[in-house]
Amino acid sequence: MKVGIVGLPNVGKSTVFNSLTQAGAEARNYPFTTVDPNLGVATLPDARLDALAETSNSARKVPATVDFVDIAGLVRGASQGEGLGNQFLGNIRECDAIAHVLRCFEDENIAHVHGGVDPVGDAETVNTELLLADLGTVERRLERTGKAAKSGDPKLRAEAAGLEKMRDHLSDGKPARSFPRSDAVDEILRSLITAKPTLYVANVDEESVAEGNAYSAEVEKLAGREGAEAVRLSARLEAEVVELPEDEAREYLELMGVDHTGFDDFVRSAYSLLGLITFFTTGEKESRAWTMRKGSTAREAAGAIHTDMQRGFIAAEVGDWEDVVAAGSWSKAKEGAKIRLEGRDYLVEDGDTMIVRFNV
């Protein structure tokens, strides 16, 4: 499960990526610095895991993670192969969600590829190229399916009709994620770039990180119109904070008028964007956050821990993390009837704490 960080050149994508992952991806003031995509892993801040680890006096704490891909900057004409367009589109197709970084700061020392700061215009440039790429995909599929549908096959006729509607939908400037799902077009819909869930990232200057500015307000309105999420951060501020000791970083953030890093919100939003939830295991040796898709069963959760647990699954002892922390330990929560036994088809909820019973 990967989140692709996209945007125009010089909007701060690689700086965002570096601070998120501390992976040291190259970030310079010219287009196409990122030719090959950089891959990195960011940890998910989670106060629930911290509380469980403290409650269990755990020797080790293992947080959940999110994989990020720093993808080359896009330019107008990318859908026709301009710049690194073909490579860009191929890289983003391999991701499961999109984090779209938009420049919301003025800086005469950093050139803007289109000459001036305009986050909504930048978003439209990128979104237009993605829509055109998807439109080309749909039209090619429609051409093949339309010819085959002349045989009278009801399934092909239904697909052709659905593709025509999808073509018109994309032509109107609407992303594929807002197109009604149906069996006839589900396969092609899942392959389209604009069907991927999207998060807008307003990259502001350090002075605007607490309250935002006019540019970030435009981004929030854009996200609202599209039914997408938006987060605000200052890549420059975060790049500085990540290099500081914890106590100095906390003081610096307080000085800037915020109580936590903007990347905390970014990583959490990206995690949610992927449709993921977290369940926990906790004990003296280790407290760990495990990642699952929303809607996963207890048996599938057992498999995330170890395949033997899934194969020999008997049942799962489940308790809410808050109940375990409030009780002071897993055993005390069990004594207080806060732990229940669930079967293989139980749907795991975000925040569940589990012990798996199994036999192999």
H or E element that contains 75: none
pLDDT of residue 112: 66
Please give the DSSP secondary-structure letter assigned to residue 112: -
- Is 322 within 8 Å of 316 (Cβ atoms)? no
Query: Would you state the structure tokens that stand for residue 173, as one six-digit string?
Result: 């400037």
pLDDT at 83: 43
> What is the torsional sign of CA 352, 355, 357, 360?
positive
- Measure CA of the first residue to CA of the last residue in the chain; give whole Å: 30
Domains of the chain are 2-46+64-128+195-273 (3.40.50.300), 295-358 (3.10.20.30)
Check whether 78 has a pLDDT greater than 70: no
The whole-model pTM stands at: 0.82
The one-character DSSP state at 153 is -
Give 261's pLDDT tier (boundaries 50, 70, 90).
confident
Q: What is the mean pLDDT of residues 90-116?
A: 82
- What was the pLDDT predicted at 113? 66
Give how far Cα 257 sits from Cα of 104, 204, 261, 331, Å.
18, 14, 11, 41
Structure tokens at 354: 């589990």
Q: What mean pLDDT comes out for the span 235-248?
A: 85
pLDDT tens digits, residue range 24-49?
Answer: 545 554 444 444 677 888 888 899 99
**pLDDT band with cut points at 50, 70 and 90 for residue 220:** very high
